[in-house]
Structures are given as structure tokens and as C-alpha cells.
């Protein structure tokens, strides 16, 4: 009653709700409800504070906070009939906001805060589950990995300051850790961080437990996550197994989770770095001289690592890893696929189908349903690599501008046809005459090699090297075709006649 009386007194003095709430120590909405109830009971600002009798204040309290026999309001009571349904929804991992919407559809209109208090007190919603300490495993086996935001550092190249993230590696058994600062979380940066970690630890751990980084996990799943093919190949090359943590389950990698805040406060906070290279160098020194020498529980991580883990690691890599790029290009109608902005031919009739392409610094490998079907040397962007064996026989000569093959094909139909084709291609720009040779081969298909052989012989005798002069179906007029030979004037007959 004293609280209510103070709220009403401040209101009678002419103070606004915004001004009275810090003085009365209540929420603005609460103050508004008391003021509105008092006005309904007859309180006015013109009559002064003498109106604040115990009876008036009691009427205001009774209106705003009616008697609750069970200690809860009517809205809270209405939720009891839906207790089992609310519990079932929460077990299905529905958010409490969604449960609030579903209750509203059933006619149960309660404030969200009332529903939240009910779920917390009656159903245990949001309560932390008791933790159980998990054994650390054997020395030299598990390494937990996570990204954490560090802060801003100078960027001399781009100017200004740029966000730096820390790729943190924590040995589960010894708690020895390594920090690799970076601006980006790409596959190349992640692998560079792993390579730096292997150099720092002097070997490779057998199992890596990363967060669901996009550079490592393409599709997260609690049971069977789909890993990035390039990173999987890197793991195979270095000899470790990937066991990603589940999404939003930090307790799957608690050893490294607890290191993120430690890195921010102990290493990064309050420091001035010149650039990313300076940050990386100082991070390596900090890991060896500060983080490694700290007392964790009762032991020193660096000492435990050196005594019990270092000798059990896999050998450290001695050669750089060439990062492959996997894509799924579609075979175009010209029987080529595009990989890294270059074109590569594909054997067989696979037009319209998707292939798996693996590109590294030297080669491009094409796979279909897990089977290797083609290997090409890597080309620069904008270049093309075509194997003539991948193209249809009838199109190979044209696609590759193989003039010799085209002349041999014509010679296969007759001596004079071959000689005529050779004469057509005897030009400073021979590929511009390839269409005439294909037209000559078309005459062979339509009229037979015998008639075309005779026509080519006569044309060579008079040195008439133009396929239009021996075309049996051509009209002498440019761009015209003659379809009725019986009406063709005698003076327009070609040499083929």
C-alpha cells in the first residue's frame, strides 16, 4: 500500500509516468495500471493529495491485484488445464514463443511473461541440467578446435581496422593450446591454421573435434554430418579423424569453449598490434610462454604435454598441402565442363549431366558416380583443354580445326574429291574454307561419290576451285536454291551436269 500511495502521490504532483517510475522504483506499465485504477475510483489531479485515503488505496490495490486464493492469477490458473500439452510441445523442441502462439489459437490468451514463469516454475523450462565431468581420454588423441572473435586490429593493406578471429586449438588431455589469428574463416585460412598448429605441437593429433565451421562441415548432423571434401582430403593426408561437435552443443567441446574467453582477456585485451602478422607472432609466443605455463588445476599444460603427449603424436607434416577444389559442373552441349573459369572436354555422351570435378594446382580430374573418367592438365582462366578423342568423329575435325583430318576424310570418297578438298584448303586462312569442304562432303552423301568424283575431276581440269560450281542443287543466283531441275535453263547447268 505504501508503494501504491507513493505512485499516486507523484502522479498528483503532475509528474509523468516516465518521470515517476525511477522515483517509485516500479515499471512504467505497473505505474500506469495503478493510476488508471485510481482514476476509475474517482482520483483526480485537481483535488490534491488529500484524496489518498486508506480506503482509496485499498480499492486501487484490489482492482489491480485481486485476491488470489492459490497465490496465482486467473491467467496462470488457465494454464493448468494445458499442462501436459505444454510439456509435450517443449519436449518437441518448440520455442516458448511458438507455444504461446499455439495456446492463443486454442483460445488461451495469457501474457507471455505469465507463460514463461509457469514453464520455468512448473515444468523446469530453461533450467540448467546437472553436468557430469567427462574423462579426458588418452594422451595425444583428441584436439578440440573452435573460432572466437578477438577484436579489431590495424589493416595496413585495406586501411583502418579489421576484425580478427582466433582459431583456437586445445589438447584435451594436457590443455596445452595454440592460437592462430585470422581475418577470414575460409578453407584456406583454416588449413593454414591447422598447419601452424601441427608445427607448434610438433605433431598431429589422431582425432580433431571442430565446431561446425563452414570450411569443414558442409551440412551439420548429430549422427552423420557431411564434411567438406577438400578438408576431408586434407585430414586423410595428415592422418587424423574428424569428429564435429553437434550444433548448439558447446558441451561436446568444453575444453576449447572455456579457452575462448581466456584468450580474449589474457592475450588480446589491451594490446596494440601493428598488423595480422604481428598478432600471429605474438600469439605463438603467448601460447608457449603464458598459456602453456599457467597452472591449470594443479598442473602446467606445457609440462604435461611435453612429458606425456608429445611423443604419442603422429609425425608433423614436412610438405605443404595442395588444397584441392571440388565442384559439380554440368556438361554443356559442346561436351565441355567449366572448372575455375576454364573449359575441359568430357568423354562420352554426358550432355546435361552433373559431374564431380577435383581441381588442384596441376590437374583437373572429372568423376562420374565415383568413377574417374578424365584427367586434364590445369588451365588458366579463359583457356580450353580439349581432347579430340572426347568429341564425336564427325565433329572432331571441325571443333579442332584439323585440316589434315578433313582432307583425309574427303579423300576417302575418291581421289579427285580429296584433291578438290586439298585445293579448297590451300588458302592463307585455310579454316575459313572448312565450310566448303563440309558442303562437298554433303554432296557426296546426297548424290553419291561417283557423280561428285566426276564433277571434281572436271572442275580441277578447268581450275574452278569453288564448291558452288559443282553443287547439283544450287541456283546460280546468290542466296537462291533451285528445286525444279526440269525448268532450269540449259545455260545455267553447273559443271556437275
Query: Strands of 342-345's sheet, edge to edge?
Result: 336-339, 342-345, 384-385
Mean pLDDT, residues 426-449:
80
pLDDT category at 341 given cuts 50, 70, 90 is very high
The yes-or-no verdict on residue 23 having pLDDT over 90 is: no
Q: Residues 183-226: pLDDT tens digits?
A: 999 999 999 999 999 999 999 999 999 988 889 999 988 888 99
Tell me, what's the pLDDT at 162?
95
Tell me, what's the pLDDT at 69?
53
Tell me, what's the pLDDT at 422?
86
CA angle 176, 179, 185 (to 5 degrees): 135
pTM of the model: 0.59
Percent of the chain with pLDDT over 90: 43
Instruction: Delimit the domains of the chain by residue range.
Output: 2-64, 74-123, 142-312, 325-390, 393-492
Going 146 to 150 to 156 to 161, the CA torsion angle's sign is positive
Tell me, what's the pLDDT at 486?
38
Fold designation for 142-312? Nucleotidyltransferase; domain 5 (3.30.420)
Segment of 88-97, 350-359, 384-393 carrying the highest mean pLDDT: 350-359
Residues β-bridged to residue 219: 226
- Main-chain dihedrals φ then ψ at residue 161, nearest 5 degrees: -125, 150
Q: Residues 3-22: pLDDT tens digits?
A: 777 788 787 777 787 777 77
The yes-or-no verdict on residue 477 having pLDDT over 60 is: no
Segment of 277-291, 390-404, 432-446 carrying the highest mean pLDDT: 277-291
What is the chain's Cα-based Rg? 41
Mean pLDDT, residues 175-188:
95
Amino acid at each position: 500500500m505504501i508503494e501504491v500511495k507513493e505512485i499516486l502521490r507523484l502522479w498528483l504532483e503532475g509528474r509523468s509516468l516516465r518521470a515517476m517510475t525511477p522515483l517509485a522504483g516500479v515499471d512504467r506499465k505497473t505505474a500506469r495500471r495503478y493510476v488508471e485504477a485510481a482514476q476509475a475510483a474517482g482520483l483526480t489531479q485537481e483535488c490534491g493529495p488529500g484524496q489518498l485515503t486508506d480506503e482509496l488505496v485499498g480499492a486501487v490495490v484490489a482492482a489491480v491485484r485481486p485476491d488470489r486464493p492459490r497465490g496465482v492469477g486467473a491467467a496462470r490458473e488457465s494454464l493448468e488445464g494445458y499442462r501436459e500439452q505444454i510439456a509435450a510441445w517443449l519436449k518437441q523442441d518448440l520455442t516458448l514463443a511458438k507455444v504461446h502462439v499455439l495456446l492463443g489459437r486454442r483460445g488461451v490468451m495469457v501474457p507471455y511473461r505469465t507463460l514463461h514463469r509457469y514453464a520455468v516454475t512448473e515444468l523446469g523450462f530453461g533450467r540448467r541440467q546437472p553436468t557430469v565431468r567427462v574423462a579426458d581420454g588418452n594422451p595425444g588423441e583428441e584436439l578440440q578446435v573452435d573460432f572466437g572473435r578477438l577484436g579489431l586490429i590495424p589493416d595496413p593493406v585495406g586501411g583502418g581496422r579489421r576484425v580478427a578471429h582466433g582459431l583456437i586449438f586445445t589438447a584435451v588431455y594436457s590443455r596445452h593450446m595454440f592460437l592462430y589469428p585470422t581475418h577470414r574463416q575460409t578453407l584456406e585460412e583454416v588449413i593454414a591454421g591447422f598447419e601452424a598448429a601441427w608445427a607448434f605441437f610438433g605433431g598431429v593429433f589422431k582425432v580433431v573435434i571442430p565446431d561446425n565451421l563452414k570450411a569443414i562441415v558442409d551440412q551439420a548432423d548429430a549422427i552423420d554430418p557431411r564434411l567438406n571434401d577438400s578438408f576431408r582430403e586434407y585430414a586423410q593426408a595428415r592422418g587424423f579423424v574428424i569428429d564435429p561437435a553437434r550444433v548448439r552443443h558447446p558441451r561436446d567441446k568444453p575444453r576449447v569453449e572455456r579457452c575462448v574467453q581466456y584468450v580474449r582477456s589474457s592475450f588480446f585485451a589491451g594490446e596494440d598490434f601493428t598488423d595480422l602478422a604481428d598478432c600471429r607472432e605474438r600469439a605463438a609466443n603467448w601460447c608457449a610462454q603464458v598459456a602453456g605455463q599457467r597452472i591449470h588445476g594443479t598442473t602446467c599444460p606445457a609440462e604435461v604435454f611435453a612429458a606425456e603427449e608429445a611423443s604419442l603424436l603422429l609425425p608433423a607434416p614436412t610438405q605443404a598441402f595442395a588444397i584441392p577444389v571440388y565442384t559439380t559442373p554440368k556438361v554443356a552441349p559442346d561436351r565441355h565442363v567449366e572448372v575455375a573459369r576454364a573449359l575441359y572436354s568430357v568423354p562420352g555422351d554426358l550432355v546435361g549431366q552433373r559431374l564431380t570435378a577435383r581441381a588442384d594446382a596441376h590437374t583437373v580430374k572429372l568423376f562420374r558416380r565415383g568413377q574417374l573418367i578424365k584427367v586434364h592438365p590445369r588451365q588458366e582462366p579463359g583457356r580450353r583443354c580439349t581432347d579430340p578423342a572426347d568429341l564425336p568423329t564427325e565433329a572432331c575435325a571441325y571443333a579442332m580445326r584439323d585440316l589434315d583430318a578433313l582432307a583425309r576424310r574427303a579423300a576417302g570418297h575418291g581421289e579427285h574429291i580429296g584433291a578438290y578438298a586439298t585445293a579448297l584448303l590451300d588458302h592463307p586462312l585455310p579454316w575459313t574454307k572448312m565450310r566448303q569442304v563440309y558442303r562437298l562432303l554433303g554432296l557426296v552423301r546426297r548424290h553419291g561419290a561417283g557423280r561428285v568424283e566426276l564433277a571434281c575431276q572436271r572442275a580441277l581440269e578447268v581450275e574452278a576451285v569453288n564448291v558452288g560450281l559443282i553443287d547439283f542443287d544450287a541456283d546460280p543466283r546468290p542466296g537462291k536454291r533451285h528445286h525444279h531441275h526440269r525448268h532450269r535453263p540449259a545455260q545455267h547447268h553447273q559443271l556437275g551436269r
